[in-house]
Amino acid sequence: MAWLLDTNAWIHYLKKTGSRIRAGLERHTPDEIVVCAVVKAELLHGAQKYGVPGRRTAIVHETLAPYRSLPFDDAAAGHYARIRHELEESGGRIGPHDLLIAAICLAHDCTLVTSNVFEFQRVRGLGVEDWNAKR
């Protein structure tokens, strides 16, 4: 099983050295953790907005370097279509980036690590964990 951390999990990791996200990452090998192109894009965009963009961009690249990055591919596209249809039919929605991230997780059988559990728990079949939650 692999764990895919969403954008808010990585931001928490980067900003808080004693975070539960850091502890969660330490419980797993780099082979068990994946990132995805959508999360990487959001983090790189954030790096451009604040502080010294070059330094922040380098930190994002360095932090994510040990982990395999998953694309939004044809398999994810099929999951995206199903998820979006089901959510629209039920009157629910999730953000467009979150929809892409959820589809990538399902296509690659990953559990999503997020503090945005409420949003993602509406996606049928998606495993979700909040490593920031007190245990």
Whether the Cβ atoms of residue 123 and residue 80 lie closer than 8 Å to each other = no
The total number of structural domains that make up the chain: 1
Tens of pLDDT, residue by residue, the chain (135 residues): 899 999 999 999 999 888 899 999 999 999 999 999 999 999 999 999 877 889 999 999 999 999 999 999 999 999 999 999 999 999 988 999 999 999 999 999 999 999 999 999 999 999 999 999 866
The answer as to whether 44 is a domain residue is yes
Q: What is the domain extent for residue 86? A: 2-129
Kindly state whether residue 85 falls inside one of the protein's structural domains.
yes
Q: Provide the 10 A C-beta neighbour count for residue 60.
A: 18
- The CATH number covering residue 99 comes to 3.40.50.1010
* 134 belongs to a structural domain: no
Residue 135 in domain: no
Enter the pTM of the model: 0.94
Is 55 within the bounds of a domain? Answer: yes
Tokens 């990487």 belong to residue? 40
Q: What is the predicted pLDDT for the residue at 135?
A: 60
